[in-house]
Amino acid sequence: MDGLECSEVMISQVRQYAPFRIDSHFYEKQYEKLKLTLSHFRSASLKELVKKPIQTGHTPSMAVSSYYGGSIALIKTDNLHDNSISTVFSDYLTVEGNAVISRTELAEKDIITTIIGATEHVIARSAIVTLEYLPSNINQNIVQIRINCEKIAPEFVNIYLNTKYGKGYLVFLSRQTEQYNLNCREIEMVPIPLLSDNFQKEIVRVVLDAQKYQNNSRMQYKNAESILSELIDIHTSLQNQPNFSVRKISKSFVQTGRLDAEYYQSKYEAIVKKLNTRETVLSLCNLHDKNYNPDAKQTYQYIELADVGQSGDISDVDIQYGSDLPTRARRIVKSGQVIVPSVEGSLQSCALITDEYDGVLCSTGFYVLDSDCINSETLLVLFKSEPIQALMKQRCSGTILTAISKDELLSMPLPMIDDDIQEKIAAKVQESFALRKQSKQLLEYAKQAVEMAIEQGEDVALAWLKDKIPVEV
């Protein structure tokens, strides 16, 4: 009987819950302890604190082409992490497509939470929406929580939902069938401890400081891009380029094996001419494509496309047993390497492997590269740049799944960058990553402070928080 657990619950206790629950998960001892701890605080349910009813999103019909291809991001489960949102979106809605699901169009300070997932680690992920993520909407696996700011600060509620108490309560309310799932009415039952206004203001201060660091991080990365774009400015070269080209069979198919018209567009010739290089990915980079077979009983961190941010950073990655990993989880990455996606539609999701992710696994859907003559930061910015992205898209092929092959990638032109330019780019990218790390740390401090306030009291939590973070950041 070692390792087994049982709880004895009176039928009168079972009847007090709405909806009626008889699944054993609902009565596990860990959740009874959680509820007991929270019962010591004055609280209000989410239902009492929202400006409008909590509601799930929706996916407009993929069969209606006019719904897609716009500028309104459709946020899905893969985009939502604990306290963060990945900005690499697979689908963008048009105004027409967004109108179909307009009731969940997101606004600044909305909180979004996952409600469906294969494991309990996927559900109950919450993040607050900032201007960076707008305009956007959500699909059916995510709920929109719009807090009434006159009653409580949305920033505080979001941090609480990321604590072991808020997240734990959501998991407690979830149901496990084929997947873990929650519904809107259950989420409305979540109690939010009404800690003092002074404490809430401190948490909000830390969150807003974290958002400032995020904004500065994005600016620094854009500065790195600007340094490179001044060197490789293709906009002038692409002006007034014809949208057709004429090629002899000997100068096209015989040489390339390609018959698709897009491949021979004049704009690609203009890019290659502007790059003015004899170097290729093969001559400048090292490709690491050795496969690794995970141990079924060992846990691994695993990088997927959805874990990559817009600035080449990596968000929190999942930890899974080798037996649960997808078959494509076969690449070990090292600090200083750059991972480059192979599938068209995700080519922008390039990322730099930092010390934090040294030795983790990534998908075989990435090419793993480094260089002896181009520093890692410059290599990242290069592969995310407009001209290299265009050439990668040109070289994609396939029917059901279009992707760039290994041979096409290695033969692609790649410019050598002067050392002094590389140093400038590296400095900006490093600063961007450092600021993002600081932002992440501040959010972690805020979460820990809320947990400490619940367990040890607000005075202890405030003293700890002020020791960790100066009043002026």
Q: Which domains does the chain have, with CATH numbers?
A: 1-194 (3.90.220.20), 222-424 (3.90.220.20)
User: Which residues fall within 8 angstroms of residue 198, CB to CB, at 6 or more apart?
Assistant: 458, 462
473 residues of the chain, pLDDT tens digit each: 455 555 565 555 554 554 555 555 555 677 788 888 888 889 999 999 999 999 999 999 999 999 999 999 999 998 898 899 988 788 999 999 999 999 999 999 999 999 998 777 788 999 999 999 999 999 999 999 999 999 999 999 999 999 999 999 998 888 877 788 899 998 999 999 999 999 999 999 999 999 999 999 999 999 999 999 988 876 545 555 556 565 555 555 445 556 565 666 888 888 998 899 999 999 999 999 999 999 999 999 999 888 888 889 998 788 889 998 999 999 999 999 999 999 998 899 999 999 999 999 999 999 999 999 999 999 999 999 999 999 999 999 987 789 999 999 999 999 999 999 999 999 999 999 999 999 999 999 999 999 999 999 999 999 999 998 865 54
Report the candidate in 408, 418, 343, 406 with the shortest Cα–Cα distance to residue 378. Answer: 418
Backbone torsions φ then ψ of 154, nearest 5 degrees = -55, -35
- In angstroms, the CA 454 to CA 473 distance is 25
* 51 vs 67: CA distance, rounded Å: 29
Q: How far apart are CA 109 and CA 142, in angstroms?
A: 16
| Alpha carbons 237 and 414: distance in angstroms, whole number | 17
Q: How high is the pLDDT of residue 254?
A: 41
Q: pTM here?
A: 0.84
CA-CA distance, 287 to 407, in Å (whole number)?
11
Say what angle helices 29-38 and 419-456 make with each other, to 10 degrees: 80
DSSP label of 204: H
